[in-house]
Amino acid sequence: MDAPRKLYARPLEASLRTALKDTPVVCLLGPRQCGKSTLVRMLRPELAYVSLDDTSLLATARSDPDGFVASLPDPVIIDEVQRAPVLLRALKSAVDRERRPGRFLLTGSANLLLLPQIGDSLAGRMEILQLQPLTEAEKERQAGAFLRTFLAGHLKPEVQGQGVEDAASLPARLIAGGYPEPLTRTPERARQWHRQYCRILVERDVGEIARVHDATQVAKLLELLAHRTAELLNTSHLGSDLGLHRETVEHYLAVLERLFLIRRLPAWHRNAARRLIKAPKIHLLDSGLSATLCGLENTDWLSRRDRFGHLLESFVVQQLIAQSGWTDPDLQFSHYRDKDQVEVDLVINRGRQTWGVEVKASSSVTPGDGHGLRRLADQCGRDFQGGVVFHSGTSTFALGDPRLLAVPLRRLWTM
Is residue 1's pLDDT more than 50? Answer: no
Measured at the alpha carbon of residue 143, what is the angle toward residues 76 and 15, in degrees to the nearest 5?
30
Burial of 224 (0-12, 13-18, 19+ CB in 10 A): middle
User: Based on C-alpha coordinates, what's the Rg of the chain?
Assistant: 22
Least confident range from 94-103, 271-280, 285-294, 337-346: namely 271-280
Instruction: Answer yes or no: is pLDDT of 166 > 70.
Output: no
| Mean pLDDT to the nearest integer, 110-129 | 75
Predicted local distance difference test score (pLDDT) of residue 287: 98
| Average pLDDT rounded to a whole number, residues 29-51 | 97
pLDDT band for position 11 (cuts 50, 70, 90): very high
CA 352 – CA 89 distance, rounded (Å): 37
Least confident among 55-64, 121-130, 286-295, 394-403: 121-130
| 118 burial via Cβ count (<10 Å: 0-12, 13-18, 19+) | middle
State pTM to two decimals: 0.94
Residue 275 has pLDDT above 60, yes or no: no
Residue 168: what pLDDT?
66
pLDDT of 165 above 70: no
Q: What is the model's pLDDT at position 113?
A: 67
- Say what the pLDDT of residue 214 is: 84
172 closest CA partner among 311, 339, 70, 370: 311
- Report residue 378's pLDDT band, with 50, 70 and 90 as the boundaries: very high
Say whether 411 sits in a helix, a strand or coil: helix
What's the residue count for the chain? 415
Query: CA 9 to CA 383: how far, in whole Å?
Result: 35
Tell me the average pLDDT across 185-210.
92
* Domain spans, the chain: 13-130, 136-412
Average pLDDT of the chain?
A: 92
- pLDDT value of residue 209: 78
Architecture of domain 13-130: 3-Layer(aba) Sandwich (3.40)
pLDDT of residue 122: 83
Residue 157 Cα to chain centre, angstroms: 29
* Of 4, 3, 11, nearest in space to 35 by CA: 11
By mean pLDDT, which of 138-147, 298-307, 395-404 is the weakest? Answer: 298-307
What pLDDT, on the 0 to 100 scale, is given for residue 160? 80
Residue 407 has phi, psi (to 5 degrees) of: -130, 135
- Report the pLDDT value the prediction gives residue 4, as an integer from 0 to 100: 46
